Structure 1
Amino acid sequence: MELLTATTSESQQKRQSWYESEEALDRYCEGGYHPVTIGDEFKDGRYTVLRKLGWGRYSTIWLAKDNEKDAYVSLKLLTSEWTPRESLLSEASFLRAASTAAPTHPGYPHVLTLLDEFRFKGPNGTHIVLVTDVLGEDLVRVRRRYESGRLPVGVVKQVAKQVLLGLQYLHEDVGLTHTDLKPDNILIALPTPDAGDPSAAPCAVSNKFITQCLSVLKPQSDTVTAPSGETVPISVSQALPIFAMRKETNGGAPLEINVKIVDLGVANWNDAHWADTIQNPGMRAPEVILGAGWDTKADIWSAGCMVYELVTGEWLFNPAGTKLYSQEQDHLAQITALLGPLPSALIAAGKHSHNLFDGHGALPPPIPCVTAPLEQRLEAQCVLGPEEFQVCASFLRAMLQVDPGRRASARELLEHRWVREGREVHWWSGV
């Protein structure tokens, strides 16, 4: 373990810069995060913590060794305040359903599934731990590796197809709507052991591959003083491994690209919604903004926003409010400028519509919306040939219909030419 020390003002600033990008220290309290140190063991020594992979508002995520199966796994430690939510509406219940509904479905490999779960009591309360496969970087980090922020179109097609397969599985077989689909929640799957290698360990991901990653990038951790005055351990989030596109001159063996949809923490059962307002604000579907009710098509809208972002390197929508209009009104103005007017029936069904539109069903002027129609904006922001551009625009239009009743389903989109013609893409490890 590499220990960061603070013997000078310069090193103190360095420490502050990295731990400020981690979880809030004031959440290390009753009801909050459990303090984890590299080397900690869980479940009677079965799991040993090796490094931190990431964190969220209600969890920290760690790479660990499953000493019983000689395999690497991911441990998601939920905050203790999240533990009482253990019910039919908990992430654990959603993961259990996704892990067992239909393992032979082609979308099953593209949704994170549960390997184990347990509880333990720590200084800040009782915590649930979800054990899953180890995954690599999310699409946000992958995008940053390209100066333009755009991914190669062949990669986007593969990602889109696999995400749609995962959504089809969740929507039709599991009975779930993800509700928070975004590049942050799409992770690259690590390579599996070679099926033809008799010496390969019977684990979900290659031990050799992760061991190599660990040898290159050492974990970084330290102890800091929380606002409560207590000293708590904190570690730098280090996703693994580092991936890059395989060049033709590269002599290394190619690794097939696979992605998984993760973070079912705010999912909803299709027939029993527990939330009215869902989705990342910039990827929020119009029916959700209006409060007109939503279904699985909300996930399709988010997927369309994400595909556009991966193809162009730009957010599709970036709404912001002012003293004259709200963020939601700006968002609706951008949507209508890009995709056309909202159906009057949808506006009428929205319980928030009276706060968003005037008596004539119009948004309050002036909202300085400079967004061009979808096809013009797509053509200006991405590098596609004429035929490729037309097919891509058609695909996006099908996902971004403002009327959810006309928006394509995951099953229908999988038949679209743009993803059906996607070429196989390989990646290589940049480790």
Structure 2
Amino acid sequence: MHRLDRYKEVLAVDRLRQISSPFAEYALPVRNISLIQGKYDNDGDHAYFTTDLYGGSVESLRHLPPAKPSLAKDDDPRRLPKKLAKRILLHVLRGIAHTHRCFVVHGDIRPSNVLFSVPKGFTTRNITDWITADPPRFNPPEQSDYCTVQSSVSQPLPLPASLDEVMDRTFVLADYGGALTLTKDPSESRSSCSFYYQAPEVILGAYCDEKMDIWSFGCMAYELLTGEPLFWPDERAASAGVQVQKGIMLHQMMCFAAETFSREQLAASEHARTWFDDDGRFQMYRHILTPQPLSFICVFMDRAPLESLDDIMPTAYFLEQCFRLDPERRPTSGKPGLDYNYL
């Protein structure tokens, strides 16, 4: 890890290693975060961390076949079975709750940053055989402050043969390279969250706290349950620049949230004038006076057509909680907060 990200990562890691919490009544298992087993921070530009061994990321599961009808993925090969998706989301929400209790914001929640445990019975001998059969590759040497270092990258473990094999795995939140420690200083609350998982306050340049993780969690939940990202790029605007693409994202956010931004929220946002006038009107699409609201129920009926309305309604309600434009109106990750009973 390079010096630019090292300070934030080390600070977040130190916080997360503090297992004790003043909210012991709602203590959650630490197994749902990728706990750092050791850190080494004495070599100039480089910091080194050791973690447990994991079997892969949730992103890698998206194209695995189901082996049993009970886990059938219906007609969309990218959609995870609901039972598996709920298990992943429950574990991730526990990891987020523990992270927030340590006064840390993860800052980059997405499927590729959620890992799953190795199979039960996976031994040291299995690891040795794997490394022998598929040795690590070495990166080019790098000059650090005190010596030349050369990192190695192990080849990934073989993926499970089917989704059935991961139903009993533990899922953990990993990669705290974009983590923030909770602070009241807006200059210390900037996020580098992946674009299509960004909360509106990130795009607008407003103060960011733990509620940005709730928005990103909602984006990931929607993606796992439907097989599609909630927010999508406009290919026609691909050459128009980042600001236009961000404006399209903000418009989509207002549609899905069925809300508009308050003047107070825009006034506290550094970049709001890029897309909004002084009265809070969206300037990018001048012919649209008010973003047209979209019901999550209607969206799910369109994107998950084989599910009944009785199944869709609780899912839509669960997600609607995550997508409030005002972060103060989003629920917390702990109890009481997001509805753990749904998961």
TM-score by length of 2: 0.78
1:32 equivalent in structure 2: none
> What percentage of residue pairs aligned between the two structures are identical?
25
Residue identity in the other structure for 1:176: V
- Structure 2 counterpart of 1:300: 214
Matched letter for residue 218 of structure 1: D
SS class of match (2:47)? strand
Cα RMSD after superposing both structures? 3.4
Shift of 1:237: 6.2
Residue of structure 1 aligned with 2:113, choices 162, 174, 185: 185
- What is the Cα deviation at residue 272 of structure 1? 5.6
Matches within 5 A, 1:205-216: 206-211=123-128, 213-214=130-131
**1:216-227 → structure 2 map (5 Å cutoff):** 218-219=134-135, 221=137
SS of the residue corresponding to residue 184 of structure 1 reads helix
Q: Residue 213 of structure 1 contacts residue 241 of structure 1 at CA under 8 Å; is this kept in 2?
A: no
Q: What is the rounded CA distance, in whole Å, between the counterparts of 2:79 and 2:14 in structure 1?
A: 35
In structure 2, stretches of 5+ residues that fail to align are 66-75, 143-148
Residue 168 of structure 2 aligns with which residue?
Answer: 256
Q: For 1:235-254, what aligned pairs fall within 5 Å after superposition?
A: 238-245=155-162
Contact in 2 for aligned 1:185/1:261 (Cα 8 Å):
yes
Q: 2:333 aligns with which of 404, 410, 417?
A: 410
The corresponding residue for 1:112 is 34
1:296: how far off? 0.7
Residue number in structure 1 paired with 2:63: 144
Equivalences, count: 311
Where do 5+ consecutive residues of structure 1 fail to align?
1-77, 194-204, 227-231, 420-431
User: What secondary structure sits across from 1:117 in the alignment?
Assistant: strand
Aligned counterparts of 1:372 and 1:206: Cα–Cα separation in 2: 50
CA distance in 1 between counterparts of 2:152 and 2:256 reads 43
- Name the residue aligned to 1:93: 11
Distance 1:214 1:374, change over 3 A: same
Structure 2 distance, partners of 1:162, 1:182, is 13
Answering whether residue 247 of structure 2 is matched by residue 329 of structure 1, we say yes
Matched, 1:159 2:88: yes
Partner SS, residue 249 of structure 2: helix
Letter in 2 for 1:140: E
When residues 112 and 293 of structure 1 are mapped into structure 2, their CA distance, relative to the original with a 3 A threshold, is same
CA contact (8 A) 1:107 1:167 kept: no
TM-superposed deviation, 1:150: 0.9
Residue among 266, 291, 295 paired with 1:347: 266
Q: 1:158 to 1:359 in 2, by over 3 A?
A: same
Instruction: Mark the structure with the bigger radius of gyration.
Output: 1
Kept in 2, the 8 Å contact 1:116–1:131? The answer is: yes
For residues 237 and 378 of structure 1, what CA distance do their matches in structure 2 show?
40
Distance 1:238 1:376 in 2: 43
User: Taking structure 1 as reference, are residues 346 and 113 closer, same or farther at Cα in structure 2, changes over 3 Å only?
Assistant: same
Q: In the alignment, what sits opposite 1:365?
A: 285
In structure 1, what residue type is equivalent to 2:116? I
**1:208 to partner: Cα distance:** 4.4
Structure 2: distance between partners of 1:133 and 1:272:
33
Q: CA contact under 8 A between 2:254 and 2:293: conserved in structure 1? A: no
1:267 aligns with 2:267: no
* 1:394 paired residue number: 317
User: Judging changes above 3 Å, is the alpha-carbon distance between structure 1 residues 234 and 118 closer, same or farther for their aligned structure 2 residues?
Assistant: closer
For the structure 1 residues 152 and 409, does the alpha-carbon distance in structure 2 shift closer, same or farther, using more than 3 Å as the test?
Answer: same
User: Which of 130, 139, 143 lines up with 2:49 in the alignment?
Assistant: 130
8 Å CA contact 2:34–2:52 kept in 1: the answer is yes
In structure 1, the residue corresponding to 2:46 is in which secondary structure?
strand
Mapped pair 1:280 → 2:194? yes
Take 1:316 and 1:293, find their aligned partners in 2: how far apart are those partners? Answer: 23
**Secondary structure, counterpart of 2:256 in structure 1:** helix
Distance change (3 Å), C-alpha of 1:234 and 1:112: closer
C-alpha distance in 1 between matches for 2:141 and 2:99: 42
Q: Is contact 1:297-1:409 (8 Å) kept?
A: yes
**Aligned position for 1:378:** 300
CA deviation map 1:298-348 (0-9, x unaligned): 000000000101111111112454549712211111111222122323223
- Superposition deviation, residue 401 in structure 1: 1.7
CA spacing shift, 1:221–1:400, aligned 2, 3 Å: same
Deviation string 1:130-178 (CA, Å, 9 cap, x unpaired) is: 1111112111111132562111100111111111111111112x11011
Q: 1:107 to 1:362 in 2, by over 3 A?
A: farther
1:129 to 1:308, Cα distance in 2 relative to 1, 3 A? same
In the alignment, residue 127 of structure 2 is paired with which amino acid?
I
Residues 105 and 180, structure 2, Cα contact 8 Å, conserved in 1: yes
* CA distance in 1 between partners of 2:272 and 2:29 (Å): 37
User: TM-score normalised to the size of structure 1?
Assistant: 0.63
Q: d(CA) in 2 for partners of 1:149 and 1:303? A: 18
SS in 1 for 2:316: helix
Distance in 1 (CA, whole Å) between partners of 2:15 and 2:271 is 33
What does the per-residue CA deviation read over 1:247-292, in whole Å, with 9 as the maximum and x for residues that have no partner? 5xxxx9x872211111112211112662424421111111222223
Using the alignment, how far apart are the partners of 2:77 and 2:117 within structure 1?
Answer: 24
1:386 maps to a residue whose letter is L
